[in-house]
Structure 1
Amino acid sequence: MSKKYIYIHDLTESENHAGYKARHDIFNILKKRKEIEVVKVPLSIGGIFERISSVIAFMKFLNNCRQGEHLVFNYPLAKPYGKLLEIMTFFRSFNFSLIVHDLNSLRKKQAKEDTLIYKATNIISHNKTMTSYMKDIGVENINIIELNLFDYLHQCDSQTRNIEACVDITLLIAGNLSKEKAGYLYSWEPTFPVDIYGINYNGTSEKLNYHGVFDADNPGKLMSMNKSYYGLVWDGDSQLTCSGMFGEYLKYNNPHKASLYLSLSIPVVVWSGSALAEFVRREKCGVVIDNLNELEHIIRNKNQWEHCRVEAERLSLKISNGDFLGEALKKFE
C-alpha cells in the first residue's frame, strides 16, 4: 500500500448503535494503522437541513482532495452522497475503494446497486459468493477482495469463562428477533433450553429464555452466563431451511452475529446453504446443518463442541485484533 489512502468515517454521533457496529469497528481498526489517514466526514441521514449541511461539507472535502489520493468508503453510501461522489470523480483526480456492508439488490426486491460500485478501484466483498454475484451484475475490471469475516471489537475477555464448570451445551441466539427477520422463533418448539438476546422479541415459548439486550461493544453479559454455547446463525420463517428475503440473503453475506460469537470463542451453527458454511467447514469453528431438527444431537456432543471451541478461540484473536480487514487491505491496488 504505497499510495496515500484516506478512509472516510461517515457516521454521525447519533448513529452509534448496534446497527452501525461494523462501521465503528472499521473506524477504530483503521485509525491505528499508520499507512491510512482517517478523516471524519459525517454524512447525515437526518432531516433536510442536516443533509444539506452534510452535502456542503462533503463537496468541500472532495473538492480539496489532491491528485493521487485514494479514498476509502463504506458501501452503500446514503443518498445523495454516493451520487455526489460519482459526479466529483469527473472533476477531481482521485480514486476510491469500497468496503461492502450490504448489497441493496440482494436485500430489497427490484432494487439496483448504485452505479458507484461499477467505478471503484478496489472492493472488499464479504466472500466468494458475493464476489461472484457482483461479477454477474457487471462489476468487472475491478480488484475484488474477499474479507471472509467481519472483525468485531469489544471490551470483553472471552477467557473469563470457567469452561470446566460448563456441563451442558446450550444454544445462543443474538440479534434482531423480530418476526420479520427471525420468524422461525415464533413457531419453533425446541426440546432443549435456548438463550436469546436482542431487540424486537415478543414470543412466549418456555424453552426460549429471553435475556434482553446488551451493549454491542461490551457483550460481557453473554460471558457472565458461564455456559458452553453454540451461537446460531439462522434467519427466516422456517425451521427446515433459511427462507424468505432474510434467509435468502444468508446465501451471500457474512452475518455480523457470527463475528460476535466467534470473537467470544463461541463456536457457531450455520445453515448449509449459507455463504458462511464454507468458512465454517474450512476453519472447523462450528457445525453446518440443513435444519434446526439436527440441533438436539449436536448439543449433546461435548467432544465435538470442544474441538470447535478451540478453533473458535483461535479465530477470536484475529477477529478482535482487526486482522481480517488488515489482510484485505494488503491486497489493495
Structure 2
Amino acid sequence: MNAGSKAVNDATEIFEKMGYESLLSKVNIKNIYLRTLFFSVQVMIRILFLPKNTKVVSNFPPIFFFERVCLYFLKKRSKSLKVFILIHDIYELRIGKNNSTPYRNLLNFKNSNFYFIAHNDKMVSWLVKEGYKKNNIIDLEIFDYLSVIKEDAGGTYGKSVIIAGNLAPEKSSYLMELFKISEIDFNLYGPNVSSDVEKSKNVIYHGSFPADEIPNIIQGSYGLIWDSETTIGGTGKYGNYQRYNNPHKTSLYLAAGFPIIMWEKAALASFIMEHNLGFLVNTLEEIPSKIAKIKEVDYNRMRENVEKFGNKIRMGYFLTEALEKAEEISNE
C-alpha cells in the first residue's frame, strides 16, 4: 500500500482525462541509465519547443531525475508557458528548510510564474507568507482517490477504528500505546507493523493490500488520521506536518465510506467539521468518550455526508475543479 504513488497516479489519470498529454514517449529501453538519459533529453527538447501559452501540468516534488530536468526547463520557460504545479509534499515543511534534498524544495520555484495547487487554506497561507503570489495559488481542499467500491462497503455504527498506511515504528510510534485505549478495537492495515503492536488485545492486524484494493477491504466504524509520535496530537515532525498537509489516507477513508477521527489542530480539521464528516480529538484517549456520545442517528447522518463527498473523491472532482480554476486564472 503506497499512498504516495497512488496520489500521483490518480492525479496523472485526471490530467489525461482533462486533455493533457504526456511529454514522454513510451520506449523499450531496459537499461535504467540509458532510459533516464533518453527521457531527460526528450523532455528538455519538447519543453524548449512548446508553443507560447501552452498549458503544462506537473506533480511535485520530482521523484526521478528526468522530472527534475522537466521542472528546470519549465521554470526557464515559465514566462511563456502556463505551468500548473500540483503539490503533493513540501519537504521544507515536513523535514525542514535545511534538508538534504534541495532539488525537491518547493521554495526553489518561488520566483517562477508557476500556478500552484496547494492542499488547503493553511498551506496557501504558508506559501503566501514565504513570498508566493496569492493569485497564483489554488486551494485543492482535499485529494481525490479514484476507486470503485462495493455497495456494502463503508462504515458501520460501532466503536472500531481503522488505521491504514505505513505502520513502521519510525512513522507510527504511537501504535505502541494503543493498548492503553482498551475500550476501542483497532483494525490495522498496511506494511511494516511491529510484532509488539500486534500483541495488544485490542489490536487486529489484517495485512497489507494494494492501494486500489484497500477501499473495499477495510472494515470498522471510523478511519483514524494520526501522524503524531504519541497519543497526543501534533508531536514530532510528522505530527506537526498535519497543520499544513492533507494526508492522502483521509481521502481513502472518505472514498471507502468511513467517517474520520482527526487531530483537532490539523489543517483538514475545519473541512471535516464544516461538512460533518467525523469528529476531532486532541489525544487518542478522548476517542472512547467521544464515540460514546454519538448516537446511531448521528452516525448515519455522518455516513450520508461521507457518501456524498466520497462520490466526488472517487470521481476526481476536487483536482478537476482546482485545475479548471487555475486555467481560468491563467487566462485573466
The TM-score with structure 2 as length reference comes to 0.85
Residue 148 of structure 1 aligns to a residue whose secondary structure is coil
- State how 1:43-122 maps to structure 2 within 5 Å: 48-78=33-63, 79=65, 81-82=67-68, 85-87=71-73, 89-90=75-76, 93-109=80-96, 110-111=98-99, 112-122=105-115
C-alpha contact 1:124 1:144 (8 A) present in aligned 2: yes
User: Which of these residues, 144, 153, 159, is aligned with residue 137 of structure 2?
Assistant: 144
Q: Structure 1, residues 265-292: CA drift from partner, whole Å, max 9, x if none?
A: 1100110110010101111101011111
| Displacement of 1:121 | 3.3
Alpha carbons of 1:296 and 1:38: their partners in 2 closer, same or farther (altered >3 Å)?
A: same
Higher strand share: 1
Number of aligned positions between the proteins:
309
Higher helix share: 2
| Displacement of 1:240 | 1.8
User: Which of these residues, 264, 274, 277, is aligned with residue 266 of structure 2?
Assistant: 274
Residue 96 of structure 1 aligns to a residue whose secondary structure is strand
C-alpha contact 1:72 1:97 (8 A) present in aligned 2: yes
Tell me how far apart the structure 2 counterparts of residues 58 and 330 of structure 1 sit (CA, whole Å): 24
RMSD of equivalent CA atoms = 2.6
> Which structure 1 residue ranges, 5 or more long, are not aligned?
1-15
C-alpha contact 1:74 1:99 (8 A) present in aligned 2: yes
Residue 185 of structure 1 aligns to a residue whose secondary structure is helix
Alpha carbons of 1:287 and 1:296: their partners in 2 closer, same or farther (altered >3 Å)?
A: same
Q: Higher relative CO (CA 8 A, sep ≥ 6), structure 1 or 2? A: 2
User: Which of these residues, 150, 165, 176, is aligned with residue 175 of structure 1?
Assistant: 165
> Which structure 2 residue ranges, 5 or more long, are not aligned?
100-104
Tell me how far apart the structure 2 counterparts of residues 270 and 24 of structure 1 sit (CA, whole Å): 26
Tell me how far apart the structure 2 counterparts of residues 89 and 236 of structure 1 sit (CA, whole Å): 35
Q: Structure 1, residues 120-150: CA drift from partner, whole Å, max 9, x if none?
A: 4311000010011111112126511100100
User: Which of these residues, 204, 213, 222, is aligned with residue 209 of structure 1?
Assistant: 204
User: Which of these residues, 118, 121, 125, is aligned with residue 128 of structure 1?
Assistant: 121
Tell me how far apart the structure 2 counterparts of residues 212 and 120 of structure 1 sit (CA, whole Å): 45
Residue 38 of structure 1 is matched in structure 2 by 21
The amino acid of 1:184's aligned partner reads Y
C-alpha contact 1:153 1:322 (8 A) present in aligned 2: yes
Residue 165 of structure 2 aligns to a residue whose secondary structure is strand
| Displacement of 1:50 | 3.9
The amino acid of 1:325's aligned partner reads L
C-alpha contact 1:242 1:271 (8 A) present in aligned 2: yes
